[in-house]
């Protein structure tokens, strides 16, 4: 009697292992596709998409072990039936065996489902807060075309005429509103910086960090990228290679180094230049996100320099090779890839565009990892909810079937169908209630464990927790209602005759 159920369980485990291999194979390709999206013109990382033998072996082993464990347990319980009880009736013979283990399994499924649903809700809320924050610029109707003048063999002295020709060529495309260039655009993953020395203040000591981010731009950049100037002015055509060296700073720079003073007209320099009057502040721009790190923290200090002004001494000639072209289109206009590449070819056929993408897509790519984690967590949360509902349905249907005689007697004594449904549902919701009592502390602990992954979102968000509880409750109710309604239709006469 024991051998046949065990053999069947092992065969089912092997089938589950084969399914696990397929999931692992598909999952490998899926993760690679999300982790390394292709970009037109960009050199792709040479990573083989073939599944690893170690990964497949691990998936097969885990699938067989889990399938065998969960398949042998019920088979073993089925072999522990009392022969005398089995001869008297199949339902009664198995009703007393394994009841506690089945209920425990449902309770554990409900608790874990609540945790996963709450965690997926927290991660989704954190992702929403990140994507809807005020970035300090306008990503709509902006296209970022990436290039590298060094690929065309340009020297620093040739850059200013090149940038003028690029702006003129792209501005002449029908439907283009404005064009500007920068060393790097917002949230493109690049960063230049320097230690600054503010005029009128002592130079920072060896243990004091005055490091700030830096960008170089052409005239009209702030209007092109949609970054408002709050004080003074932005970089204009009058900021030439021969004019005084100027800088535009962001609000964070002004707060840190100038406090409550008006920074326009003040001076600062780089520590390595041994001068605190290298740049004159001509404007203050609104804080905008350029770094792709610490997205839940305030914007760090940053200053912007004209791309054509070379510092004296110039310690970073590479920063003058502006690489991002910001193209603003008119409302409702969509530019084609051929139009943009044709404009660049008219400037220099040997200077290609490395990539072309909307600024909104560049912003969205920053949150690709967070979005993938939130989607995977939501998928597993829904999967656990489905498993918990199936488990609740199975346990409720089994309990209702084992109580056929009891329900028949109750209805023969005057109980209504509604009473029978309530009786079955009461037992089912008792299990869910125990699962909630176990799952709520685990949910709060999981929220605290996520920590910085929530990016400032409340780990004990009551709306998210209540939504997870409601989803679990509704699913459990629907899963339990079907067998409860079926049990309420039992005829008292047939139930007593079966006994």
pLDDT digits (tens, 9 = 90+) for 195-216: 898 998 888 877 777 889 999 9
373: preceding bond cis by omega (within 30 degrees): no
> Which helix or strand (DSSP H or E) is residue 142 part of?
strand 142-146
Least Cα distance to 455 among 367, 363, 360 occurs for: 367
* Cα gap 287→195, rounded to integer Å: 19
In the chain, domain spans: 1-80, 82-140+366-499, 148-353
Q: Extract the residue ranges of the chain whose pLDDT is less than 50.
A: 1-45, 90-96
Q: Give me the residues paired with residue 247 across strands.
A: 281
* Cα gap 497→499, rounded to integer Å: 5
Tokens of 432: 């869910």
Contact 253, 175 (CB under 8 A): no
Contacts 24+ apart (CB under 8 A), 467-471: 467/117, 467/121, 468/114, 468/117, 468/118, 468/121, 468/443, 469/114, 469/436, 471/117, 471/385
* Cα gap 136→299, rounded to integer Å: 10
pTM, to two decimals: 0.74
State whether residue 473 is helix, strand or coil. Answer: helix
* Cα gap 303→250, rounded to integer Å: 6
pLDDT reported for residue 345: 95
pLDDT reported for residue 88: 53
């Amino acid at each position: 009697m024991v051998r046949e159920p065990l053999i069947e369980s092992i065969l089912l485990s092997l089938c589950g292992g084969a399914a696990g291999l397929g999931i692992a194979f598909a999952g490998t390709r899926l993760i690679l596709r999300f982790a390394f999206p292709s970009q037109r013109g960009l050199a792709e990382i040479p990573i083989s998409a073939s599944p690893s033998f170690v990964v497949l072996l691990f998936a097969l082993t885990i699938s067989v072990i889990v399938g065998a464990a969960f398949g042998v347990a019920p088979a073993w319980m089925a072999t522990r039936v009392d022969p005398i009880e089995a001869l008297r009736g199949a339902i009664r013979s198995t009703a007393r065996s394994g009841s506690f283990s089945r209920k425990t399994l449902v309770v554990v499924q409900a608790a874990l489902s609540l945790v996963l649903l709450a965690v997926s809700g927290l991660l989704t809320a954190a992702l929403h807060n990140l994507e809807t924050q005020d970035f300090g610029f306008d990503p709509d109707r902006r296209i970022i075309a990436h290039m590298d003048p060094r690929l065309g063999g340009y020297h620093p002295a040739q850059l200013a005429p090149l940038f003028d020709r690029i702006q003129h060529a792209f501005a002449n495309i029908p439907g283009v509103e404005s064009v500007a260039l920068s060393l790097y655009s917002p949230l493109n993953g690049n960063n230049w910086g320097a230690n600054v020395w503010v005029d009128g203040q002592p130079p920072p000591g060896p243990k004091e960090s005055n490091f700030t981010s830096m960008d170089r731009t052409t005239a009209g950049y702030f209007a092109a990228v949609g970054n408002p100037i709050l004080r003074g002015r932005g970089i204009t055509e009058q900021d030439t290679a021969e004019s005084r060296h100027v800088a535009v700073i962001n609000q964070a720079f002004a707060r840190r180094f100038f406090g409550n003073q008006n920074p326009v007209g003040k001076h600062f320099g780089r520590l390595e230049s041994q001068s605190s009057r290298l740049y004159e502040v001509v404007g203050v721009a609104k804080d905008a996100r350029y770094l792709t790190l610490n997205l839940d923290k305030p914007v760090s200090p940053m200053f912007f320099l004209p791309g054509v002004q070379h510092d004296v001494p110039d310690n970073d000639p590479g920063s003058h090779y502006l690489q991002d072209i910001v193209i603003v289109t008119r409302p409702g206009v969509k530019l084609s890839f051929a139009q943009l590449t044709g404009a660049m070819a008219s400037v220099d056929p040997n200077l290609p565009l490395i990539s072309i993408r909307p600024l909104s897509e560049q912003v969205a790519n920053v949150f690709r990892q967070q979005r993938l984690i939130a989607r995977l967590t939501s998928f597993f949360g829904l999967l656990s909810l489905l498993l918990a509902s199936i488990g609740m349905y199975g346990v409720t249907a089994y309990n209702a079937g084992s109580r056929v005689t009891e329900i028949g007697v109750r209805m023969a004594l005057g109980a209504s169908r509604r009473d029978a449904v309530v009786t079955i549902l009461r037992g089912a919701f008792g299990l869910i209630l125990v699962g909630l009592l176990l799952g709520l502390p685990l949910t709060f602990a999981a929220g605290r464990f996520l920590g910085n992954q929530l990016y400032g979102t409340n780990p004990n968000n009551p709306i998210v927790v209540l939504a997870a509880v409601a989803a679990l409750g509704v699913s459990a109710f629907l899963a339990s209602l079907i067998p409860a309604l079926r049990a309420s239709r039992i005829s008292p006469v047939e139930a007593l005759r079966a006994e």
